[in-house]
Amino acid sequence: MLPTLFHRLTAVAAGFRGADQLMVAGTPLVVGALFGAGPDIIGLIVAAQGSAWLFVSLPAGVMVDRVAPLDAVKRGMVLAVAGVLVAMAGLWLHNLPMFALGAFISASAAVVGFLAESASVQAIVPGTALPAANGWLQLVQSAAMLIGPLVMGYAVLQGWAMAAYTLALVLAACGLALALGFGTQAPRAPRQRQPRAEMAEGFRFVRGQPLLLGIVACALFWNMAFFVLMAIYVFDPGL
């Protein structure tokens, strides 16, 4: 039986991931269709959005490791709301750099939220229930990845892009409101640590594991292909 706190975390994840997938799907569509950018700019902005996983993962991991996991979830949700608001402002003002900044902030929120969510599950769910808990969270993620692009694609086609971003804002705000209901959680015990040494240790560990090296290579080339495909699909109406 999964604890009640996990059910609230699942509801937070639904809002957070729904907003995230609307932002991910909306970025190339809006940049191409509404800002009139070419494939070079589309690819650059989508790549910048994805670069959050490269540049934010390590500092976010350090932060999550030092605060209470549920408090880290709250911070991720605040960042998600901020990212959607900045992107909406960029869209309203027809300011492409501002819109791109909002997309990057939103992607950074996804990194923080993912790490904090994983740490929270381990903190509140018994070991025997972890497979079921992770299964529920993956189901939420899969649903968001299926529905988000469909909603955003239809919205941009109909000229309702701002309404779709408003939906993303509502989902992120609901997730934040639910996250604030977690209450105060004791922070983790402070430890004398050296982030640079820990990162070097992590790199050495990955380098020494053939399976992890394969996963890293797959993720790298898959993302490169994803950026190229998004730019081509949005720019070439004949496809």
Give the count of beta carbons closer than 10 Å to the beta carbon of residue 162: 14
Tokens 């994803």 locate to: 226
Tokens 């959607």 locate to: 84
For the chain, 239 residues long, give each residue's pLDDT as a single digit of tens: 566 788 889 999 999 999 999 999 899 889 988 898 887 788 788 888 888 887 888 788 878 888 888 899 999 999 999 999 999 999 999 999 999 999 999 999 999 999 899 888 888 888 788 888 888 888 998 899 889 989 998 999 899 999 999 999 999 999 999 999 887 666 665 566 676 777 777 778 778 888 877 877 787 777 677 666 766 666 665 55
Through-space distance between the first and last CA atoms of the chain, rounded to whole angstroms:
48
Task: Indicate the class that CATH gives domain 4-182.
Answer: mainly alpha
pTM: 0.84
Rounded Cα–Cα distance for residues 103 and 20 (Å): 9
Rounded Cα–Cα distance for residues 70 and 218 (Å): 31
**Per-residue model confidence (pLDDT) at position 56:** 85
Residues 105 and 45 sit within 8 Å (Cβ to Cβ): no
**Per-residue model confidence (pLDDT) at position 191:** 60
Rounded Cα–Cα distance for residues 80 and 110 (Å): 7
Q: Which residues contact 117 (CB under 8 A, 6 or more apart)?
A: 9, 13, 16, 73, 76, 137
- Residue (of 223, 219, 13) closest to 115 by Cα position: 13
CB burial of residue 9 (10 Å; 0-12, 13-18, 19+): buried
**Per-residue model confidence (pLDDT) at position 160:** 94
Rounded Cα–Cα distance for residues 155 and 178 (Å): 27
